[in-house]
Amino acid sequence: MTHASATGSGVVLGLIRSGAATTRRDLLDALGWSRVTLERRLEELLSAGLIVHAGSRASGGGRPREEFAVDKDRGLVLAIDIGSSHTRVAITDLHGAVLVEDEADIGLFDGPEEIFSWSRQVFEFLLRGLGRPVSDVLGVGIGVPGPVDPTTGRLGSPQLDPRWDDVRVVDYLTELSDDVIVAVDRDVNILALGEARFGWPEYRDLVVVKSGIGLGCAFVLDGGIVRGSRGGAGQLSAPLRARLSDPLRRLETVASGGTIRDDLSASGIRVRTSAEIVALAADGDAEVQRLIREAGETIGYALADVVGLLNPSAVVIGGNLAEAGDLYVGAIRRSLFGSAHAYSRQGLVVERARLAEKAGVRGGSALALDALFAPDRISELTRS
């Protein structure tokens, strides 16, 4: 980091935004700057409309300390969580609070043209309902069910549906200004970001699973998402092979909502989405319950090696299949604890995602806000 970046306004904004330091005294203590330098940076942020005075806080007997906060109403963020068969969209403020949202049974296998055409229409409708123009949109955060190259923003290849191979998502958002920040990541990564930041802030190390028609896994280590060199970290493999020389198989080809759907189809039961599978289980369908339980057990076995390698504090299960509750999450927990190394399972929490269906859009918003408020970007913006 350059000296200018290290002492720029973006560093101040990062501390305010995280809540780590929101008063002058806290900022001085955290940064070790002179008061003159801090006042200059605060004035830059205030003049740019990025922060506002947010009241006062008691200071232990002295005068109340004035607090600062990001101006949450200065703009909007669009969030899109694209799943294999279900997509949720939301509009948030600049604190990441969801203002309005919508969803539909449309997903990866409908192709990018269909997905982004639908989301564009829904966002236009939602913005009208809020009484806000499209010019208020400052960022877009998108989760897609496949690897994304973190350096180029292009989707990797091969994807589960070849229509997504090498897609540049920004090309489908031409109605937005060139100044709008667009951030793209795997759907399970944005779910993990949402859960780590808003659902499980007490833990720094998580393994997060998204289970719907497809299956994804993400790692949060020391509070940050691990993406790998080309955005492909987190691909789980089926735990059993006939011979050691056999190639690994993707776990979702043997234990996912998609495999349950295929098994049901072979029995003459037609379902399209993982939510429909969960609904059948809730209605008492014994065969569906058995398939869900078996999928959970297989996933638990596959995760045993993961927790041995990473030693996380918690394994968080999200996605529509997690809505089956203990039928599914309990099966994962039992098989994981029955097969994991003794040390790695000590104190390990295996639970359902706390944000439930909102985790993806909240994580998508956080992804966009992190890019929008990147310290170097803000320091450059306020200097110019």
Rg for the chain, CA atoms, rounded: 22
pLDDT of residue 1: 40
Lookup: tokens for 184: 């793209």
Q: What's the Cα-to-Cα distance from 147 to each of 16, 164, 238, 325, rounded to whole Å?
A: 32, 10, 19, 28
pLDDT of residue 3: 43
Please give the Cα distance from 203 to 200 (Å, whole number): 6
Q: How confident is the model at residue 362 (pLDDT cuts 50, 70, 90)?
A: very high
pTM for this prediction: 0.91
pLDDT digits (tens, 9 = 90+) for 275-292: 999 999 999 999 999 999
Please give the Cα distance from 174 to 206 (Å, whole number): 36
Q: What's the Cα-to-Cα distance from 23 to each of 42, 54, 67, 236, rounded to whole Å?
A: 11, 10, 5, 44
Tell me which DSSP letter residue 239 carries. Answer: S
pLDDT digits (tens, 9 = 90+) for 196-232: 999 999 999 999 999 999 999 999 999 999 999 888 8
Residue-level length of the chain: 384
Instruction: Put the strands of the sheet holding 87-92 in their side by side order.
Output: 98-104, 87-92, 76-82, 137-144, 181-186
Tell me which DSSP letter residue 247 carries. Answer: P
pLDDT digits (tens, 9 = 90+) for 31-77: 999 999 999 999 999 999 999 998 776 655 566 789 999 999 999 99
Please give the Cα distance from 97 to 127 (Å, whole number): 15
Lookup: tokens for 118: 């639908």
Return mean pLDDT, the chain: 93
